[in-house]
Amino acid sequence: MDARHYWVMKGCLRNRYDRNGDILGFVQSKEMGYWYQSQRLNKNVQKGDRIFCWRGYPHCDVVGLAEIKEIDQYDHSLREHAFIVKPLCWFPYFIHKADLEKAFHRFLRKSKAPSFLGPGPQQTIQPINDEHAKIIAFQIIKSNNELPVASEAMKTLFSWFPSMNPQRRSPTSQPGKSP
Protein backbone atom coordinates (compact mmCIF):
# COMPACT_ATOMS: atom_id res chain seq x y z
CA MET A 1 0.00 0.00 0.00
CA ASP A 2 1.15 3.54 -0.58
CA ALA A 3 0.97 6.52 1.78
CA ARG A 4 -2.51 7.52 0.68
CA HIS A 5 -5.38 7.06 3.08
CA TYR A 6 -8.74 5.41 2.45
CA TRP A 7 -12.05 6.94 3.46
CA VAL A 8 -15.73 6.19 3.27
CA MET A 9 -17.66 9.24 2.11
CA LYS A 10 -21.06 8.73 3.65
CA GLY A 11 -24.29 10.33 2.50
CA CYS A 12 -25.03 12.70 -0.30
CA LEU A 13 -22.61 14.98 -2.08
CA ARG A 14 -23.55 18.61 -2.39
CA ASN A 15 -22.18 21.55 -4.28
CA ARG A 16 -22.08 25.22 -3.44
CA TYR A 17 -25.26 25.88 -5.42
CA ASP A 18 -27.32 22.72 -5.00
CA ARG A 19 -27.09 21.54 -1.40
CA ASN A 20 -29.28 18.47 -2.06
CA GLY A 21 -27.29 16.48 -4.66
CA ASP A 22 -27.03 12.70 -4.44
CA ILE A 23 -23.83 10.66 -4.29
CA LEU A 24 -24.82 8.18 -7.01
CA GLY A 25 -25.55 11.02 -9.42
CA PHE A 26 -22.21 12.53 -8.48
CA VAL A 27 -20.13 9.43 -9.24
CA GLN A 28 -22.03 8.83 -12.48
CA SER A 29 -21.52 12.43 -13.62
CA LYS A 30 -17.69 12.22 -13.46
CA GLU A 31 -17.65 15.96 -12.67
CA MET A 32 -15.67 17.34 -9.77
CA GLY A 33 -17.77 18.46 -6.85
CA TYR A 34 -17.55 19.80 -3.33
CA TRP A 35 -17.88 17.64 -0.27
CA TYR A 36 -18.67 19.61 2.88
CA GLN A 37 -17.61 18.41 6.30
CA SER A 38 -19.26 20.25 9.18
CA GLN A 39 -17.63 18.16 11.87
CA ARG A 40 -14.05 18.61 12.95
CA LEU A 41 -11.67 18.03 10.04
CA ASN A 42 -9.62 14.85 10.37
CA LYS A 43 -5.98 15.95 10.28
CA ASN A 44 -5.04 12.94 8.11
CA VAL A 45 -7.18 13.96 5.12
CA GLN A 46 -4.87 14.85 2.25
CA LYS A 47 -4.88 15.50 -1.46
CA GLY A 48 -4.84 12.23 -3.41
CA ASP A 49 -6.63 10.19 -0.74
CA ARG A 50 -8.98 7.50 -2.03
CA ILE A 51 -12.68 7.37 -1.28
CA PHE A 52 -15.34 4.66 -1.32
CA CYS A 53 -18.63 6.49 -1.97
CA TRP A 54 -21.35 5.27 0.40
CA ARG A 55 -24.98 5.95 -0.45
CA GLY A 56 -26.90 6.54 2.76
CA TYR A 57 -30.22 5.35 4.08
CA PRO A 58 -32.39 3.71 2.82
CA HIS A 59 -29.91 2.18 0.33
CA CYS A 60 -26.78 1.74 2.50
CA ASP A 61 -24.33 0.65 -0.19
CA VAL A 62 -21.01 1.43 -1.85
CA VAL A 63 -21.69 2.90 -5.29
CA GLY A 64 -18.34 4.15 -6.58
CA LEU A 65 -14.81 5.41 -6.10
CA ALA A 66 -13.49 8.96 -5.90
CA GLU A 67 -10.33 10.87 -5.02
CA ILE A 68 -9.70 14.04 -3.01
CA LYS A 69 -8.24 16.64 -5.36
CA GLU A 70 -8.02 19.65 -3.03
CA ILE A 71 -8.86 20.61 0.53
CA ASP A 72 -10.40 24.06 0.75
CA GLN A 73 -10.11 26.25 3.76
CA TYR A 74 -12.78 26.44 6.42
CA ASP A 75 -15.83 28.40 5.25
CA HIS A 76 -16.85 30.52 8.24
CA SER A 77 -20.18 31.55 6.70
CA LEU A 78 -21.23 27.90 6.30
CA ARG A 79 -19.24 26.60 9.29
CA GLU A 80 -17.90 23.79 7.14
CA HIS A 81 -14.71 22.52 5.53
CA ALA A 82 -14.87 21.81 1.81
CA PHE A 83 -13.05 19.16 -0.23
CA ILE A 84 -12.91 19.14 -3.99
CA VAL A 85 -13.62 15.54 -4.97
CA LYS A 86 -13.18 13.88 -8.36
CA PRO A 87 -15.41 10.86 -9.05
CA LEU A 88 -13.43 8.08 -10.70
CA CYS A 89 -16.00 5.39 -11.45
CA TRP A 90 -19.24 3.74 -10.35
CA PHE A 91 -20.28 0.11 -10.30
CA PRO A 92 -23.37 -1.46 -11.87
CA TYR A 93 -23.76 -3.80 -8.87
CA PHE A 94 -23.60 -1.88 -5.62
CA ILE A 95 -22.13 -3.40 -2.48
CA HIS A 96 -24.84 -3.49 0.18
CA LYS A 97 -24.26 -3.09 3.91
CA ALA A 98 -25.35 -6.68 4.70
CA ASP A 99 -22.78 -8.11 2.26
CA LEU A 100 -20.04 -5.98 3.77
CA GLU A 101 -20.96 -7.03 7.30
CA LYS A 102 -20.67 -10.70 6.27
CA ALA A 103 -17.35 -10.08 4.53
CA PHE A 104 -15.85 -8.26 7.51
CA HIS A 105 -16.94 -11.09 9.77
CA ARG A 106 -15.54 -13.75 7.43
CA PHE A 107 -12.15 -12.11 6.81
CA LEU A 108 -11.51 -10.53 10.18
CA ARG A 109 -13.25 -13.13 12.38
CA LYS A 110 -14.91 -10.37 14.35
CA SER A 111 -18.59 -10.00 14.97
CA LYS A 112 -18.46 -6.21 14.97
CA ALA A 113 -18.12 -4.45 11.63
CA PRO A 114 -16.37 -1.07 11.15
CA SER A 115 -18.19 1.98 12.47
CA PHE A 116 -19.08 3.41 9.06
CA LEU A 117 -21.58 0.56 8.60
CA GLY A 118 -23.49 1.64 11.68
CA PRO A 119 -25.97 4.44 12.02
CA GLY A 120 -24.46 7.85 12.04
CA PRO A 121 -24.59 11.26 10.51
CA GLN A 122 -24.77 11.57 6.76
CA GLN A 123 -22.35 13.82 4.91
CA THR A 124 -19.31 12.64 6.83
CA ILE A 125 -15.99 11.29 5.72
CA GLN A 126 -14.75 8.43 7.89
CA PRO A 127 -11.29 6.82 7.85
CA ILE A 128 -10.86 3.13 7.16
CA ASN A 129 -7.67 1.12 7.44
CA ASP A 130 -5.94 -0.66 4.58
CA GLU A 131 -7.37 -4.06 5.52
CA HIS A 132 -10.93 -2.71 5.53
CA ALA A 133 -10.29 -1.03 2.16
CA LYS A 134 -9.09 -4.37 0.74
CA ILE A 135 -12.21 -6.15 1.99
CA ILE A 136 -14.48 -3.54 0.39
CA ALA A 137 -12.50 -3.81 -2.86
CA PHE A 138 -12.74 -7.61 -2.79
CA GLN A 139 -16.53 -7.39 -2.38
CA ILE A 140 -16.75 -4.93 -5.28
CA ILE A 141 -14.78 -7.30 -7.50
CA LYS A 142 -16.87 -10.28 -6.39
CA SER A 143 -20.19 -8.49 -7.02
CA ASN A 144 -19.07 -7.04 -10.36
CA ASN A 145 -17.25 -10.12 -11.63
CA GLU A 146 -18.91 -9.93 -15.04
CA LEU A 147 -17.28 -6.59 -15.78
CA PRO A 148 -14.25 -6.96 -18.05
CA VAL A 149 -10.91 -6.46 -16.30
CA ALA A 150 -10.25 -3.68 -18.81
CA SER A 151 -13.42 -1.75 -17.86
CA GLU A 152 -12.88 1.68 -16.39
CA ALA A 153 -14.29 0.66 -13.00
CA MET A 154 -12.08 -2.42 -12.69
CA LYS A 155 -8.96 -0.65 -13.96
CA THR A 156 -9.45 2.03 -11.31
CA LEU A 157 -9.94 -0.53 -8.56
CA PHE A 158 -6.93 -2.60 -9.69
CA SER A 159 -4.77 0.54 -9.76
CA TRP A 160 -5.60 0.92 -6.05
CA PHE A 161 -5.08 -2.80 -5.31
CA PRO A 162 -2.78 -4.33 -7.98
CA SER A 163 -2.56 -7.68 -6.18
CA MET A 164 -6.32 -8.21 -6.76
CA ASN A 165 -6.03 -8.02 -10.54
CA PRO A 166 -6.87 -11.54 -11.80
CA GLN A 167 -4.23 -11.17 -14.49
CA ARG A 168 -1.58 -10.79 -11.75
CA ARG A 169 -3.26 -12.44 -8.76
CA SER A 170 -1.92 -15.38 -6.83
CA PRO A 171 -4.38 -17.79 -5.13
CA THR A 172 -3.70 -16.19 -1.72
CA SER A 173 -4.32 -12.54 -2.60
CA GLN A 174 -7.69 -12.33 -0.85
CA PRO A 175 -7.99 -9.92 2.07
CA GLY A 176 -6.90 -11.38 5.39
CA LYS A 177 -4.45 -13.77 3.73
CA SER A 178 -0.80 -13.20 3.10
CA PRO A 179 1.02 -14.51 0.04
- Give the CATH number of the domain where residue 12 resides: 3.10.590
pLDDT computed for residue 20 by the predictor = 42
Residue 96 DSSP SS3: strand
138 part of a folded domain: no
78 part of a folded domain: yes
114 part of a folded domain: yes
Rg (CA), the chain: 16
Query: Is the peptide bond between 121 and the residue preceding it cis, with omega within 30 degrees of 0?
Result: no
pTM (two decimals): 0.81
- Planar angle of CA 65, 14, 35, nearest 5 degrees: 55
44 part of a folded domain: yes
Q: Which domain holds residue 126?
A: 6-133
pLDDT computed for residue 73 by the predictor = 67
Burial class (CB in 10 A: 0-12, 13-18, 19+), 91: buried
pLDDT averaged per 10 residues, the chain (length 179): 79 50 80 75 85 84 91 70 86 89 83 71 77 92 86 91 77 51
Judge whether 111 and 94 are in contact, CB under 8 Å: no
Cα–Cα distance between 128 and 153 in angstroms, integer?
Answer: 21
pLDDT computed for residue 29 by the predictor = 85
156 part of a folded domain: no
Helix, strand, coil distribution of the chain in percent, nearest 5: 25, 30, 45
12 part of a folded domain: yes
121 part of a folded domain: yes
Count how many domains the chain has. 1
**Rounded to the nearest 5°, which phi and psi values hold at 47?**
-60, 135
Judge whether 65 and 52 are in contact, CB under 8 Å: yes
pLDDT computed for residue 140 by the predictor = 92
144 part of a folded domain: no
